[in-house]
Chains A and B, each alone.
Chain A
């Protein structure tokens, strides 16, 4: 930041020069500079490259062709290329569309449901991630690192699920009550670390991690209890949520449900909350400089507590969407990894509400594509975890991406890594 100050007069001249450039020239100039879009795309590209290396290294058949690489390199290269291109083609087909299905649709032999299925899967996986991602992003803006999204989502699953099968209400109302139950459950689970942070200074990273495990263990206990457990099953699984509390979905094979619409609405709500409401102003002020906020008369303790309540509520809602939209019963792994994935989604979306929404859709796409990749080429779904982690590593370290691709400096220096705060 300080280095920009002395360069003020020449910058004026430069601006004049640039004004004279054509739009296309400007566009090309900016394309290879370290702006948000370029860094994001290159991060994804780099992650895919490293993923490709992993695919090849872990395939013994292809790896054995490398032993005679110097004698006949074509074997190794075509073998690797086939494997990688098949894997990544599956990733695309599973996440966006399968050209074959579209072709069939045009020929009249196909079915629009088959053609839309990949997109439906993507959005199905994305819906809960939007909520948990927003939860983390919101907390980040207020200077808190909410790793507890997982626990809050688990509690949200529990309360929404139990409300879904334990109480009988007319359709519509039941759904609203079940969603609200998830929201409240998550909010309570977020309130605890918020209160502890505000009252005792206990670091939220530690307390929320511990609450994650506690919530998971509690879920494991709860689904074995009478009244919760499905009496007709021998394994640890709860009763099924009443159809009146299920989120309406597309016709049968398509799984996408109303949760994604809800996610968009909530994203807009969170954007309003952060940018337009007085609470949003306070939380941003506390996040940037809590001492200044305190001096300005804001109650830091109150803001922290409220922030964790709202963040917990969002994650809880994510859990509720998971149960009421896709899972429809409680199991030990009902929440999957949505809380931790939410963390990555928020980082990828740069803690902005709409960015988080798009990041969640990207993660949903990776997950949906990963499923097909696992079935078709037999490459473990764990590769998707690696890709997701790598993308965020590169996004979080724009200087690294910049150095690898020799990018120009962006004109607006918005790509700082300014989140560093410590304990």
Chain B
């Protein structure tokens, strides 16, 4: 039972009485109606009656989708109310998710119409910025998928990011090679992962505790070496080269999608390919079947001859490789120098993306993109001068996470043996 601690007393009663009036569908519907009304009334009344332009480029130029801000805010609010109403009235099960998504997207658009009224929002820039901000989250969440599907809770993603970022900056500078940087980022991630693996699998320490402590350890070690080595002599130790942007001719000329997906750095492609590879690996290969077996019921897996601990070691280390590569983003892509605690909690958001994405690679991708979008939007809106203070805009991803974890995804079920060390009896 401890493995599924996300189920509560309410859930149990719901399972025995499925015909209760306030079913999950109705509750979600009611919530959608409320946020839709908020959007239509509050956003609508606050919005200027000026044109909101959503340009299909990286700046204010070019073709654009235009709508009157006030009208748009009200319109999309009403759509959210309608989606909620449909859920309240009751629809077939397969329409539920679609309606829910429609309602949330409409709410977001209503918010955008309010904020962008009289200004413009460059869609290509927003999309590529979201993808870039989502990049470490995708890789971190994938690392979490690898660990947790085999039954090891990975809270140390933040530490793996930091070590990866530090390793990339240090070795990348010393070797003056961006590829050496990427490799040492991976090594940094693996160092933390191997500590996690040994302590959690061999020494049976509580995995959440190990994760948290390893984060602090990574923070301390990188901060210490930063102050001792990098700060006194930044040129020698802390000026890594940037990861080059590559452009695939032909594909990059497709409007909107082209510049976002095909004119970017290698890490983005790596992340997107890894999503597919890990998905296929988990669902279609022997390794995936064994991983899932070990994560759900290690005793049964052991009985049929799967080496539980060995597989867990391997998956945690693979997770370290992926998360370490994610750490390279911070020093080789987003900025060009290491700084103390520069990951600033991205590892924890990746963890939330993992849970939000229900422990699946594509779910994690979607959740990471959502967080990336929220972050990008907060940056953009505070840059163009939004009436909402930028601290509150920056809260968006965090509050969205709480809402998502608390309600949106319903009952999230972790792998049954997640966090439970396996002791052969």
- Interface bits B388-401 vs A (CB < 8 Å: 1, else 0): 01011011001101
Residues of B within 8 A of A384 (CB): 220
- Interface bits B1-38 vs A (CB < 8 Å: 1, else 0): 11111111111000000000000000000000000000
Within 8 A of B (CB), among A400-419: 400, 417, 419
CB atoms of B220 and A386 under 8 A apart: yes
CB atoms of A419 and B399 under 8 A apart: no
If A207-B402, A343-B212 touch, whether A423 touches B206 (CB-CB below 8 Å) is no
Tally B residues with Cβ within 8 Å of A: 63
CA distance A59 to B227 in the complex (A): 11
Is B221 close to A, CB under 8 A? yes
Q: List 12 A-B contacts (CB under 8 A).
A: A197-B8, A199-B10, A203-B5, A217-B395, A300-B9, A382-B221, A382-B226, A396-B205, A397-B199, A417-B203, A420-B419, A423-B5
Residues of B within 8 A of A314 (CB): none
CA distance A127 to B88 in the complex (A): 52
CA distance A147 to B155 in the complex (A): 12
CA distance A1 to B11 in the complex (A): 34
Residues of A within 8 A of B326 (CB): none
CB atoms of B405 and A206 under 8 A apart: yes
Within 8 A of A (CB), among B397-412: 398-399, 401-402, 405-407, 411
Which of B9, B208, B213, B351 is packed against the most chain A CB atoms within 10 Å? B213
CB nearest neighbor in B for A380: B227
CB atoms of A202 and B216 under 8 A apart: no
Is A238 close to B, CB under 8 A? no
Partner among B2, B8, B226 whose Cβ is within 8 Å of the Cβ of A200: B8
Is A301 close to B, CB under 8 A? yes
CA distance A290 to B2 in the complex (A): 8
B11, chain A: closest CB distance, angstroms? 7
- Interface bits A194-226 vs B (CB < 8 Å: 1, else 0): 001111111101110111011001101100000
Tally A residues with Cβ within 8 Å of B: 60
Residues of A within 8 A of B94 (CB): none
Is A399 close to B, CB under 8 A? yes
Is A294 close to B, CB under 8 A? yes
- Interface bits B196-214 vs A (CB < 8 Å: 1, else 0): 0001000111111110111
CB nearest neighbor in A for B208: A145
CB nearest neighbor in B for A299: B9
CA distance A291 to B213 in the complex (A): 29
CB atoms of A421 and B2 under 8 A apart: yes
CB atoms of B204 and A417 under 8 A apart: yes
Is A344 close to B, CB under 8 A? yes
CA distance A218 to B221 in the complex (A): 29
Q: Which A-B residue pairs are the 7 nearest by beta carbons?
A: A422-B419, A385-B220, A386-B220, A382-B223, A380-B227, A221-B391, A58-B228
